[in-house]
Amino acid sequence: MSRQLCDVLEADLERVLPAALDGTGPAVTVRTGAAGPARTVPDEVAVVVQTSGSTGEPREVMLSAGALLAAAHASAERLGGTGSWLLALPVTHVAGLGVLVRSLVAGTTALRLPAGPFRPAPFAAAAATVPSPSYCSLVPTQLVRLLDDPAGSAALSVFDAVLVGGAGVPQGLAARARAAGARVVLTYGATETCGGVVYDGRPLTGVEVAIASHQGLVPGAGLVHVSGPVLAHGYLGRDDLDADAFTTYDARRWFVTSDVGRTGPDGRLEVLGRTDDTLVTGGVKIAPAAVEQALAAAPGVREALVVGIDDPHWGQALAVLVVPAAGADLRLENLRAHVRTRLGRVAAPQHMVVVEALPLLASGKPDRRAAAVLAAQSRTEVTGGDSR
């Protein structure tokens, strides 16, 4: 059995979503350009969502009504109940879609921010009008911008929970947000799991996480596998990708992520980075996320993004795009020393590019490919001797 897949505009998704979920209407996908040819999907599929494309070509992920609703109900259970949501993310990606589904389950209407770039002032104004209990979902860059703005920082404290995910969150950033009164919940998940399904390191009810054997960068680490009712049906028109991304063992279906993680002593999942982000410099594997975590704690650093650029000596050289804190005068040698004391000299970045803002995808995640191009075009070289 199959059903029609209908292209809809972003502004129309909330209106047609109920019928897509209950089966009285066609399955839907948000179009970002001209309408495509007529397509069909398996009968159980309700929404098709593109992955962010942060590390590769975007994929069209087929999500069933059962999976989306399971994720929404499990989220509400963990948060202590349903409520009203402020929509600060595009619904073209799974995090924004998740806000609409949670609102539908709660019987509320998500309050959308005005169209255009994310700014603290509209967020603060909207936050003051969301009925309690209230929630919002952000990516780390949005959280940074809010904390740098007095009104935005104060607005965070009105929410009963602020979900933050979509990219690695430096420990210092989470601590700073909590010190400002924000009830931050760090989430982990993927489009293929209907968004975040691990909250503060612990899987939601019905979700299971396993660490599969893998030659990772850190002892005890492996590839993160996720199982449960939240899994996607598969990729639209790409059975070849399904075979790589989904597997069955212990009589259960699992999504095989590209993330390297481990389970801490307290049983919480710790995500260390992505295998497809891994950089190799001088024959040594480096996880950019680990370097970014170290740099985020350096004095004067507001945000940092680490990428690899071609280098005749090392194969890849580590470059950092860095957004300085107000008034900070950042020097590459200082950042290198900071990283070297924490991760060793091989992890110290060899180039630095100071930027006003990190390049972002439409989903709000860092655009690593654009960052690598920028770093290759405008880089500050380490001078003198062995750059390691």
pTM, whole model, 2 decimals?
0.80
Burial call 117-149: b when 16+ CB within 10 Å, e when fewer: ebebeebbebbeebeeebbbbbbbbbbbbbbeb
In the chain, the largest separation of any two C-alpha atoms, in whole Å, equals: 69
CB 302 within 8 A of CB 148: yes
Tokens 């091989």, residue located: 346
DSSP 11: G
Burial 212-239 (b: 16+ CB within 10 A, else e): eeeebbeeebbbbbbbbbbbbbbbbeee
Of 290, 296, 348, 346, nearest in space to 322 by CA: 296
- What are 300-316's pLDDT values in tens digits? 999 999 998 887 667 78
The mean pLDDT values, 10 residues at a time, for the chain of 388 residues are 93 95 96 78 96 70 98 98 96 95 97 92 97 95 93 97 89 91 96 97 97 66 94 94 92 92 90 78 78 89 90 82 91 92 88 90 81 80 44
